[in-house]
Structure 1
Amino acid sequence: MNSMTGFGRSTLIADGLQCTIEIKSVNSRFLDLNIRSPKQVNSVEYSIRKCIQKSLHRGKVDVFVTLQDVDDREKQFLINSSLKNQIQNVLVAEGFYESVQEVPLAAVMSISNDWIQIKDDEIHEESLDSLITETTMDALGALIYMRKSEGVQIQKDLLERLLQMAAIIDDIYNHKDDAVLAYKENLRNKMLDYVGNLDITISEDRLLQEIAIMADKTDITEEIVRFRSHVVQLTNTLKKDEPIGRKLDFIIQEMNREVNTIGSKALDISLTDHVVQLKCELEKVREQVQNIE
């Protein structure tokens, strides 16, 4: 189980070129990948995207690529002779020099240095792709390690909370019959008072039948069984070594639905307190699940 939050960085050097790649990720419903890189990386950017998409499934992922020359790389000098000659002729025409041959390069460059350009030797795409891919994999490995480490901590916290919720639902189960009996007795007394005020008579069997029908609507056995089943399912899912975030979202929605139903049926104050505790724990679990890939 992995978290969606992490950071990884790697720097490698090859053929006089240093590549640094930083990858950071935060929570997101889907995989949202953004790459910021210099122009010379555009041709091999697909390799970065492909590496990340193979390993990450959810999260907002930002990738920063930096290229820098190291050691002595061959340079190319491009001379614009036409512009150079034009500057020399202007200096002669203005009387600074008597002939073009007398005009020094320093004078030409004091006017403009646009006539000379220095460019690095072109980087072969195959070499660049190899360097970018290897650096990406190193940075990605560091990111995944951090996501796994945080995932372990989240898993531990969630499993502890599931044990707490299992204990709470057990308490609810152990007191549900007493709560139903108390509800029946309270309902019986109210109905007798109501019938008495109307000065009518009703058979005891009919009264008990009506009470049983109404009390049956407060039974929460089915909801408890389903909630326990979801606890087991959630526990088993947490132990899987695969992307589980979306599945956990769905299970928690189902658990929350069962808790709401229990809360609407359970009229006893002690059960209501337990329902509130369950809702608090479920909310904490839901918040943690948002961090899981």
Structure 2
Amino acid sequence: MGTNVRSMTGYGRGEHIAEDRKFTIELKSVNHRYNDISIKLPRSLASLEDKIKKHIMQQVFRGKTDVYVSFETFASDDVEVKLNEALAKAYYEKLKVLQDSIGFEGGNLLDLTAKFPDVITVEKPQKDESIIWDALLPALDEAVTRFASMRQTEGEALKKDILAKGKRIQTLVHEVKERSPLVVEEYREKLNNRLKDLLGGIDVDPQRIATEVAVFADRGCVDEEITRLESHLVQLADILERGGQVGRKLDFLVQEMNRESNTIASKANDIQIVQATIELKSEIEKIREQIQNLE
């Protein structure tokens, strides 16, 4: 029993309240060639960015993932108001000088002083990083679990659809396989009748007919392509059943399937084979589009 197939699109959200802080984490992803994780978080949590990324990468292996981290605090000791007395006095003295020089008695100098930059500042004291991490981790785990679950659900739906398309391709390949020998026999009959007409009913040299038919059969022979396509279809089902990170493997496999179907199309000299090949290529293209979204 293999692991599950995962889509590269997903969403997950997690919340956790600890030590009077509420952490909220959201993950959103779309398909991407590589594993690109971008984290947006408050400046006060910047030191945890690498740790958060490594934690996510244990479960996410491909896709463009945006991570949003936010927190709000309910604790009064999480905020510290600081007054720069020396700066406040310097501002106040200069305002007093200005007031005296222009002879203006109005205005509240204290109110004006408090509005200057850096006189009064609000700071959030640095907490021990391990304490913050322990408080944030449950929210992160919840978000990642929901995120992974959604990607898994979508991935399994894609797998089911791709396998159904694989069965349809198998049917079309079988049609081509059954039809190919009949095309050769029909050509033999047509050639024999045409030559008889040209020769006024005289019997045609069987060796001459056999040579012409052999050339025709060789030129239109698609046995090798059919065998390879059948092998690719077995591999397609096998890769999907094993699961895990299947996107890149399937991408390569579908390129090979496309190559074989193009060769069959170029060799086709029968309308039924041409029609089957057109549908064959259409189904392969649908699979190619779907696997772009698999991890």
1:245 aligns with 2:243: no
Map 1:108-187 → 2, pairs under 5 A: 108-113=110-115, 114=117, 115-186=119-190
| 2:8/2:151 contact within 8 Å kept | yes
Aligned to 2:60: 56
Where 2:64 maps in the other structure, the secondary structure is strand
Where 1:138 maps in the other structure, the secondary structure is helix
Give how far 1:80 is off. Answer: 1.2
Which of 75, 78, 83 is the equivalent residue of 2:87? 83
Taking a change above 3 Å as real, the CA distance of residues 287 and 187 of structure 1, as seen in their structure-2 partners, is farther
Task: Report the AA paired with residue 14 of structure 1.
Answer: A
Taking a change above 3 Å as real, the CA distance of residues 58 and 290 of structure 1, as seen in their structure-2 partners, is same
Query: What is the aligned-residue identity percentage?
Result: 34
Give how far 1:125 is off. Answer: 1.0
Which of 171, 188, 205 is the equivalent residue of 2:207? 205
TM-score (norm 2): 0.86
Give how far 1:236 is off. Answer: 1.4
**What CA distance in whole angstroms lies between the structure 2 residues aligned with 1:42 and 1:92?**
42
Q: How many residues align?
A: 278
Taking a change above 3 Å as real, the CA distance of residues 74 and 173 of structure 1, as seen in their structure-2 partners, is closer
TM-superposition CA deviations, 1:123-181 (whole Å, max 9, x none): 21111222333322221111100001111111111111111111111111111111122
Taking a change above 3 Å as real, the CA distance of residues 12 and 269 of structure 1, as seen in their structure-2 partners, is same
TM-superposition CA deviations, 1:40-83 (whole Å, max 9, x none): 22211111110121111111111111122224334333221112
TM-superposition CA deviations, 1:165-212 (whole Å, max 9, x none): 11111111111111122234455677x59x98xxxxx96424522431
**What CA distance in whole angstroms lies between the structure 2 residues aligned with 1:38 and 1:184?**
79
Task: Report the AA paired with residue 239 of structure 1.
Answer: E
**What CA distance in whole angstroms lies between the structure 2 residues aligned with 1:39 and 1:145?**
30
**What CA distance in whole angstroms lies between the structure 1 residues aligned with 2:162 and 2:78?**
57
Q: Which moved more, 1:216-225 or 1:282-291?
A: 216-225
Give how far 1:92 is off. Answer: 4.5
* Unaligned ranges ≥5, structure 1: 97-105, 197-201
**What CA distance in whole angstroms lies between the structure 2 residues aligned with 1:128 and 1:186?**
84
| 1:188/1:211 contact within 8 Å kept | no
Give the number of the structure with larger relative contact order, counting CA–CA contacts within 8 Å between residues 6 or more apart: 2
Where 2:58 maps in the other structure, the secondary structure is helix
**What CA distance in whole angstroms lies between the structure 2 residues aligned with 1:187 and 1:108?**
110
TM-score (norm 1): 0.86
| 1:48/1:132 contact within 8 Å kept | no
Structural RMSD (CA)? 2.4
Give how far 1:247 is off. Answer: 0.6
Aligned to 2:222: 220
